[in-house]
Amino acid sequence: MPELPEVETIARILRGDAHPNEGATPPGVGNARAFRDAPREESILNREILGAEIFWPKTVAAGEPGFVARITGQSIRSVGRRAKFLIIQCSEDALIIHLRMSGDIVLRPAGTPAAKHDRVTWQLSGGLDMAFNDTRKFGRVWLFDDPAALFAGLGPEPLEDAFTPEGLYDALQTRSRQIKPLLLDQGFLAGVGNIYADESLHRARLHPLRIASSITPAEAAALHTHIRAVLEEGIARNGSSIDWVYRGGEFQHDFRVYGRDGEPCYNCGTPIRRIVVGQRGTHFCPTCQPA
């Protein structure tokens, strides 16, 4: 599932803030070939939405009745992110997309035939089409005049100034849950998923089964530092590509524990272990992250 760095990368590419290097794997937008073939002025900003087509009605979670008519004619003003949600702010409404397990935003030259797993497509001015491609059909699209209610239960953004070591420590002290599933709780901290939780805990030398309220102020400060560092590095590397769903990122080459079960820890040489915590595969070093 795309996490904060992957969604942020997609948002930056759609804004035109990031561009694929010539001859290199395009970052961010999953379908590399389709992205490569898109017009070079790939930013969707200031384009008018000329029309839309829904191929899988359940994908449109809110606003489906009249969705096409309502969004047609609106102009795209900005592209951003909240947690793992992609926010495309239009002239009247906010188009919200959650990629879930296999969702992907694909840019193509206008008139390109829809792909097999396209669930919703939008025709944009300037000769560009945008598609939400989702093999497993778990992804969702919303159209809101005000999306505040959708985001009401989300925790703080880990890269914003409001997320502080002191605030993290205070929040941990009120929880008796294990730290790994707590970090995955979007109501506690927005945007962190399985990959970046494992990597952050390893760098902070915290066992994934530690009870949150047992974490000291110094440990909370270290965790705060490494959550931000891991996410920032992930964004700098255009996210992580670990299967066919999200391609183009390179942070997977820097994983210290995730997906490295049985391989030696880069710090101490101890074999990395994999356990299941809260139904999620969890990787850690038994020596660097003592129970």
Question: For residue 290, which of 226, 206, 183 has the smallest C-alpha distance?
Answer: 206
Separation CA 34–CA 186 (nearest Å): 32
Query: Comparing 112 with 102, which gets the higher pLDDT?
Result: 112
What's the rounded Cα separation, in Å, for the pair 271 and 265? 6
Give the chain's radius of gyration (CA, Å). 20
Give yes or no: 140 in active site. Answer: no
| Active site (annotated) includes residue 58 | no
Chain segment 211-251, per-residue pLDDT in tens: 999 999 999 999 999 999 999 999 988 888 765 445 567 88
Considering only 17-31, 88-102, 137-151, 159-173, which range has the smallest mean pLDDT?
A: 17-31
Pairwise CA distance, residues 84 & 132, whole Å: 15
Residue 42 annotated among the catalytic residues of the structure: no
Q: Record the pTM.
A: 0.87
What is the reported pLDDT for 272? Answer: 98
| Gap between the Cα atoms of 181 and 104, Å rounded | 25
Domain boundaries, the chain: 4-151, 165-284
Q: What digits encode the pLDDT tens for the residues 20-59?
A: 433 334 333 343 333 434 444 479 999 999 999 999 999 9
User: 165-284: which CATH topology?
Assistant: Helicase, Ruva Protein; domain 3 (1.10.8)
Which of 12, 47, 84, 210 is flagged as catalytic?
A: 84
92 included as an active-site residue: no
One CATH from 3.20.190.10, 3.10.105.10, 3.30.70.20, 1.10.1740.10 for 4-151: 3.20.190.10
Q: What pLDDT does 238 receive?
A: 84
Between CA 47 and CA 42 the distance in angstroms is 11
Report d(CA 61, CA 47) in Å as an integer.
24
CA 101 to chain centre: 10
